[in-house]
Amino acid sequence: MIKKTIAILLGSGLLAAGINMFIIPNHLLDGGIIGLGLIGKYVFELKPGLTIILLSVPLYTIAFFYNRDYFYNGVHGLFVSSFLIDLFRPLSTWDAPSILVSSLIAGIMVGTGIGIMLSANISSGASDLLALMLSKVTHINAGIIIFIFDCVVLLLGSFIIEEVTIFYSAIMVTMVGITTSIILTIFRKDRRSYRF
């Protein structure tokens, strides 16, 4: 329980800081449910954390009936990370580095945060939860599945935000996928398998 709590707080903190300090100031777009939350912010001025929760409800409902462990372990990460994303909102007003540097740093921070949570079988949003479930069935690294989801959201976002931002967003999403995969591989070597 202590390890899961630390994973939730550390992972969510890195995720929220990366989004508010590097992604939002540069108008970058992440993938998955987080990316959809960012689209909601950029287009409709919605709170990204709250949007992530609302968009995650259907998959968490499925998880509740499919496997209660997925639901109970995932819902904590969802609420904490979404709450911190909105709580850390004032950080988005700081003078962020160049868009390339921000893309790389954000990718590492977000990827590390997601990787830490997934290694403890905790998800920060519905796309992470779905990746975790698919990974369990297909034995494909969850980081790779998340990367595929991210690419789909980036494609959707390409119709909404400027092309140059999409290019740097793609760099960031690639870094998120690489970092998440590395973190999960490290933890997999330690634990051999993911079990609830």
Helix (H) / strand (E) containing 105: helix 99-119
Domain ranges of the chain: 2-191
| 8 Å CB contact between 116 and 184 | no
Report phi then psi at 18, rounded to 5.
Answer: -60, -40
Instruction: Write the single-letter amino acid at 157.
Output: G
Task: Say if residue 102's pLDDT is above 90.
Answer: yes
Residue type, 25: P
Q: Please tell me what DSSP assigns to residue 91.
A: G
What spatial distance separates the first Cα and last Cα of the chain, rounded to whole Å?
11
Dihedral in degrees, nearest 10, Cα atoms 138, 141, 146, 151: -90
The pLDDT mean for the chain works out to: 86
CB-based contact 123:129 (threshold 8 Å): yes
pLDDT at 119 over 80: yes
Instruction: Mention every residue, 6+ apart, whose C-beta is less than 8 A from residue 181.
Output: 115, 141, 143, 144, 147
Q: With CA atoms as reference, report the closest residue to 56 among 25, 80, 34.
A: 34
Cα 25 from Cα 94, distance rounded (Å): 8
The mean pLDDT value for 98-119 works out to 94
168-171 contact pairs (CB < 8 A, 24+)? 168/26, 168/28, 168/99, 168/100, 168/102, 168/103, 169/28, 169/29, 169/30, 169/103, 171/100, 171/103, 171/104, 171/107
pLDDT range class, residue 106, cuts 50, 70, 90: very high
The pLDDT-based confidence of 77 (bands split at 50, 70, 90) is: confident
Mean pLDDT of the region 42-56: 92
**What CA–CA distance (Å, rounded) separates 137 from 131?**
10
Q: What is the pLDDT of residues 10-31, one digit of tens each?
A: 999 999 999 999 999 999 998 8
pLDDT class for 190, splitting at 50, 70, 90? low
Compute the distance between CA of residue 176 and CA of residue 38 in angstroms, rounded to an integer.
Answer: 16
182: exposed, middle or buried (C-beta count within 10 Å: 0-12, 13-18, 19+)? middle
